[in-house]
Each structure stands twice: as C-alpha cells, then as structure tokens.
Structure 1
Amino acid sequence: MVSINAPAVKRLSCCLLLGFTMVVSPLTASAADNFWQNIQQKGVLRCGAATAAPYVMRDPKTQQYSGYFSELCRDFGQNVLKVKVQFVDASWDTLVAGLQSDKWDLAMGLNQTPERALAVGFSVPVQDYQISFLINKQNPKVNALGNKLADFDKEGITFAVMSGTAQDRAITAAIKQGKIMRLPGNDESRMALMARRADVLVDASDTNHLFALANPDWAAEVLPSPALAKQGVSFALPRSVSEADRDVLNIYLTQRRATGEIDQWVNKASQEANAAK
C-alpha cells in the first residue's frame, strides 16, 4: 500500500489550481479586453432596442429606427468601429437579460441604478434623466421664478402630477408650502396646466421636453435646483467589458456631448415624436 503524504497532496493541489488559473485567466482577460475588436471581426454591432420617445423610436410602416440613442449607436458603429449596425427588437423587461445572454452588444437608453449595475456595466451618461417642471410662460405667478426649487415651494402655487408615480413621490417629499394636485393620468395633469388650474406640471424631463417643444408659444420647461430624482441615461454593456474598451465608448459620448451634437439629436428626435403624434 502506498502511503499518502497529506502536506504533499495539499502542495500538489495548490500547484494544479495555480496552473489552471494561469492558463484560464489570460484567455478570460483577452476576451474581456477585445470587446470591440471581436465585434469588428464579426462586422456587426447589435444594439438592443426598446422603444420610448425620444430615446428609441421605430416607424411602424418602415420598421426603421430613429431617436437619439439609435442615432448614437448607428454613428458609433459605422464611423468608429467601421461595422454594420443591427437593431434588435427588445422590451424594457428584456434589455438587461438580453445583454447578459449575448443577444445584443449594447442596450440603449437605460437609467443608471445600483440594482442594474450589479448585472451590467454602464457607459457615461448620454443625457441626464430627472423630474422637471413645465410652466405657462404667461402665468405671472411662476414666469419669473427662475429654477430654484425653494422659489416654487410657496403658498398659492399648485403642482399637478400623475398620482402614484415616481414624480408624485419626489414632489411630495420636496414640497412643503405649495399645493399638490394629484390626477389619474398625464392627459389630466397637462389639461390642469393648460386650464391654469395648476401652475406647474411635474413630469419626467424628457416627457416635459416633448410637450414644451409641441407648445412653444406658451410652455417652458424648468429643471429645478436641486435636481429631483436625477439619474444618468446610458448605454449598458456586459459587465465583463474591460475598462479600456469601455473608455472607447465613453470618450466618444463625452466628445459628442461636449460639441452639442447629442442635444441636437435629442431635439430632432423630440420633433419627430411630436410630428408622429
């Protein structure tokens, strides 16, 4: 019978484990470090697309995608990676899961949250989501208040908001002096502002931006300070993507934002969404 030396077995196990790690780790690191190179070799950048104006829109007749996230994905793929861009139909419930299961390479238009960051990586924000105010420029109660939240929070100012929403929760926590008018839907809250039963419409900034562009004669959007429920809206990538590869997308987005091109695409998408309505 051959005797087994326990310390020797332990040393052998450690060596085998170390050897396995040395073989596998470089391959794993290589795959993570070559995210864009792998896409370039395939020749296609797949963009997961869940529709919501003005982020991502799809023409029901032509099935063509527009919206400012679509424009960015198309421009990044064609002009930076030099590949074709394929938009893959998705829903907001499947964007993260589809990214994890390799159904697409980028997920478009996701708000940055800590819960999502446990599952996917994020680019720098393309735009900032936050709750904004919409006011009637002809209403003397609010037309000269600026953007300070404290200036709006006073007796005699009525805020219209859709009941039970994130906007409702945020404004309820922020307003102490003003009156909050909770209504069942967006149409009712907008009508309250238009009829001057309310002085301020509280809604997501992208939605208010669309409404303000559609009604330039009287509507103005205000981004309150301090910001309410502010989050970055970004591209999501697999968590395994290396920092170096993530920097490629981040540098691209930072430059496009600094030049004002993203704002131009946002306005174009908002106008297209209003025209479609």
Structure 2
Amino acid sequence: MVELSAGAWLFRPIQQKLTGRKTMMPRYLIAAVTAGLVSTSMAQAQDAYVAGVEASFPPWAYVEEGEFKGIAIDAMRAIAEDQGLDVEFRDMPWPSLVPALAQGRIDLLVTGLNVTPERAEVLDFSIPWWENDDEILVASDSGKNMIDVLCCGATIGAQGGATQYQWLEENLVNREGVDVTLRGYEDYVVAIEDMLAGRTDAVVTSTDTAEEFISNGRPVTIVGTIQQNQPQALAVQEGDPNELLASLNRGILNIYASGQWEEIVHEYSPQASIRAIPTAMPDYVDSYQEPIPGYSE
C-alpha cells in the first residue's frame, strides 16, 4: 500500500417528521391564526430545524430499515437532546446539500462534511469534531496497485462535489503527464458497485467510509492513502441566521466530555481513534474567530 501527501507526491510503504392527515380548519381557528393565536402544536412544528443529510455515506449517515443511522445522525440527536433542540432529518443528494443550506432551504447540514475554504465562503461551521484522510480503493480481485490506478489511462471514481473529487481533479486530471479519467458519482455506494463491475479502476473516499465498506464485507482493498488531515464539522447558513452555532458547539463539547461521543463513534466504527474536540480549526473560517459561539464563553 502507498501513502500520498495531499500537498506533494510522497510515496512510502504503509500497511421523520410526524405525518398527519389534512383536515378542514374551522373558521374560528382561521380567525385565531390570522390574529396570531397559534396553537402549541403549530409552534412546535415551526420550531423544528431541518437537517440536511446525504443518507448514503456510512458510517456518518445512512438509512437502514427506514431509519436514519450513523455517527453524525446519532451525535446530532444527542446534541439536540442536550440543547433542547427539535431537529428533523431530510435526505438529499450530496450535490444539492451545500446549495440548499446556502439558500436557506434547510437549517443545518449533518453528515461527514469536510471544512474547506470554498465552503467557508458560503457556510458557517461548528467547531470540528473529526479529521480524516482519504483512501484509494480497488476491487480485491483486480490485482491492481497504486501505480496502476494513477496513470496509464486509468479511470477513478469519486463523489461529485466532494473534496476527494476536487483533489483528484486538481492533482491528477489537470496535472501534465498524468493520463487518468475522473468519473463523478452521486454517492459512494454506486461508485463502489461501478468499480466492482469493472467500469472504473479505483474509487477514492474518506478513511471512515472506506473502512465501513470493508467491514461490511465489500470485496475492496485499500492500496493507498492521501494524507489530508481534513477537519469535519456541522454547518449552518452563513451568518447563522437561526443562531444555532452556540447550541451546536455547546452540545458537541458536552457529548464529548460525557463520553457519549466516543460511544457513538465506536458503535459504528469500533477501531476508530477518538480525537480531542475541537480538532484543528483553520483560520480561513469566520466562525472560528474569537469569540467562537458556545466555545469561547
């Protein structure tokens, strides 16, 4: 196996919300609502924050038997309980998540979201709770190694709009003398299936997701690592119009201090090392400047 530095070519050996039926509203209720006399149940419905997720990104977020699961999902539930927030999850395709949040169509983004300069221009981030590298996967029976999939007409798959796709585009596709084709996918489940069917030579995904595919018995092998040390966090709309950051940051710190965060992570990724929270906070993120809501208090 080979390890890459994200900044240079360094090679070295390595090992629901409630659904209700529609009813006709009596005239006196229409008048009451018009007058601003909103019922408690209606107020509660309006107070629910919509968390956008991409539910095909294990171990961070996925759906099993109709239920949202994953590290980010369970952690958000714990944060919501700790801070008294009402949050509902909405499954959306990955490419639409950041635009939906930037435009205010959802209230926060809950998944394995990498903090990047480009995203920091349109979003605000909670304190980071994780750091990740990226892994290069091949089909276990392919016999391919790192060199095979990084040159010579190879086709590499990654999720469109993800940081892995961006890195491959900048460092391979647009690099003189490197002959590779990059193929984008809506999610990594399809990307892996395409690779196993022989339509691509490799897939690049985060370390956590790669390990999840392997632990679930997918016949894939890691042949190289791209060292990124990429922080991950929750995100809200730029400017934090719903004033959620303080609650999110306090909740993250509280579930970390109580040991609940470690329990959640190890439920989905038993061998994962628990990093101190917050992890590295890049200085290009406005919401990491003092005072940091819910953290600098």
Q: CA offset at residue 122 of structure 1?
A: 0.7
Whether 1:204 and 2:198 are equivalent positions in the alignment is: no
Give the 5 Å matches for 1:18-33.
none
Q: Which secondary structure state, in structure 1, belongs to the residue aligned with residue 225 of structure 2?
A: coil
Pick from 101, 104, 107 the counterpart of residue 105 of structure 1. 107
CA contact (8 A) 1:71 1:265 kept: no
Quick one: which of 51, 54, 70 aligns to 1:50?
54
Identify which of 111, 119, 122 aligns with 1:119: 122
Q: Tell me if structure 1 keeps the 8 A contact 2:138–2:195.
A: no
- Does the 8 Å contact 2:236/2:245 carry over to 1? no
Residue 233 of structure 1 corresponds to: 232
Do the aligned partners of 1:134 and 1:222 also contact (CA within 8 Å) in 2?
Answer: yes
Aligned to 2:172: 172
Report the alpha carbon displacement of residue 124 of structure 1 after superposing the two structures with TM: 2.9
> Would you say 1:260 and 2:262 are equivalent positions?
yes
Q: Provide the C-alpha distance between the structure 2 equivalents of 1:123 and 1:51, rounded to a whole number of angstroms.
A: 20
Unmatched runs of 5 consecutive residues or more in structure 2: 1-42, 159-164, 184-190, 271-297
Contact 1:126 1:234 in 2 (8 A): yes
SS at match of 1:224: strand
Structure 2 counterparts to residues 207-226 of structure 1, below 5 A: 207-215=209-217, 221=222, 224=225
Offset, 1:76: 1.2
- Please give the alpha-carbon distance, in whole angstroms, between the structure 2 residues aligned to 1:259 and 1:72: 7
Q: Output the CA distance in 1 between the equivalents of 2:135 and 2:245.
A: 33
Amino acid at match of 2:235: A
**Residue 158 of structure 2 is aligned to residue 158 of structure 1:** no
Partner AA of 1:118 in structure 2: E
1:73 equivalent to 2:99? Answer no
Higher gyration radius (CA): 1
The structure carrying a bigger helix percent of its residues is: 1
Distance change in 2, residues 1:254/1:220 (3 Å): farther
The answer to whether residue 135 in structure 2 is matched with residue 132 in structure 1 is yes
Q: Quick check: 2:255–2:261 contact (8 Å CA) kept in 1?
A: no
Aligned length: 204
3-state DSSP class of the match of 2:94? coil
Deviation, 1:121, is 0.8
Provide the residue aligned with 2:32 in structure 1.
none
Q: Percent of counterpart pairs with the same letter? A: 20
The SS at the match of 1:260 is helix
Unaligned segments of structure 1, at least 5 residues: 1-38, 143-151, 193-197, 269-277
Give the direction of change, closer, same or farther, for the CA distance of 1:257–1:90 in structure 2 (3 Å limit).
farther
Does the residue aligned with 1:111 lie in a helix, a strand or coil?
coil
Q: 1:244 deviation in Å?
A: 4.8
